[in-house]
Homo-oligomer: A and B are copies of this chain.
Amino acid sequence: MRIRAYAAVEPGHPLRPFEYEVGELGANEVEIDVKHCGICYSDLSMWKNDWGMTQFPFVPGHEVVGTIGAVGSSVKHLKPGQSVGLGWFSRSCMECRQCMQGDHNLCAGAEGTIVGRFGGFAEKVRADKNWVIPLPDSANISTAGPLMCGGATVFTPIVESGIQAGDRAGVIGVGGLGHMALRFLRAWGCEVYAFSTSPEKEDDSLHLGAHRFVNTKQQGAIESLAGSFDLILVTVNADLPWDAYIAALKPRGTLHVVGALGSITASVFPLIVGQKSISASPVASPAVTAQMLEFAALHQIGPIVERFSLSDANDAFTHLEAGDARYRIILDNDIP
């Protein structure tokens, strides 16, 4: 069987129609008929081979929502026709300590959906059954795609940090990740602050659930909040005034980083005297992804999206790269 997709043949080259051959579906595999696919900034980075690990022809797409077309012979808990999502990973070893303790996302052998595999800018995509997550009945299928990578990534520290309703949480960056974090934290019952260098995002931030917007370009804006946050989530890839944000934490507070790639330099003494910590996490485990989808369905949380047809994926990439996406892009599959 051949699968129709969109691929770039070299770094940064336009995506063109592309077909690839697949064999029989593996016993533990699931084949998803793609309905919608979100675009994550990492699709752009992989397309340009920024991380030196892209294989070409390259089919992007790892925020997939669709219905199951077929399941392998060992798949018992999923059925054809069921609505499902697929995120950054498509497979993990299922044998290592991390997989066996539920941290499949920390498996050293985990395979990215677009790393050495063909992704979701396609009519179909295949993945291991354990990474194909059923959508709750009340999920909004047309906007769930970005929850599968970006949404689950910001949800993980909310679940795992121990932050509770009534605690004060900050989100640095109101973008593809940050805008979902604001919604999750508001629904979690927290007092939510949005930190951004873009004052024009204030209205959106408040609409998304922030109780307060902090324009970090204003002198002393961060400093004036010293000692007041239980958790601050870093959703931007930028060099930040780390010590100022650490000072903004309460005693025992945590600065948690997702989606950044540089380095952090922090003074040790304020960490010590406030018993503070710096933590980080990658994309979510399957279990946390499922929990996130249930939480999102319960509170009707989804991303704010702009829509393109899959056949216009190049325009969507251009729009994202220009920094114009508000706040997440979804491609609707129009492969006939």
**Could you list which residues of chain A lie within 8 angstroms of chain B, going by C-beta atoms?**
98, 103, 105-106, 108, 227, 251-252, 254, 257-269, 271-282
Contact = CB atoms under 8 A, between A and B. Distances in A.
B282 A252 contact: no
Copies of the chain in the assembly: 2
Contact of A271 (B103, B252, B265, B279): B279
Given A98-B251, A251-B103, A275 B265 contact: no
A275 B107 CA distance: 11
Contacts of A262: 267-268
Contacts of A276: 279-280
Contacts of A273: 106, 282
A282 B275 contact: yes
Contacts of A279: 271, 275-279
Contacts of A278: 266, 271, 277-279
A247 to B, nearest CB: 13
Contact of A263 (B260, B268, B277, B282): B268
Contacts of A252: 103, 106
Nearest to A254: B277
Contact of A280 (B106, B108, B259, B272): B272
Given A275-B103, A275-B281, A264 B258 contact: no
A273 to B, nearest CB: 5
A106 B275 contact: yes
Contact of A272 (B260, B268, B271, B277): B260
A136 B294 CA distance: 51
Contacts of A275: 103, 105-106, 279-282
A254 B278 CA distance: 10
B264 A268 contact: yes
Nearest to A96: B251
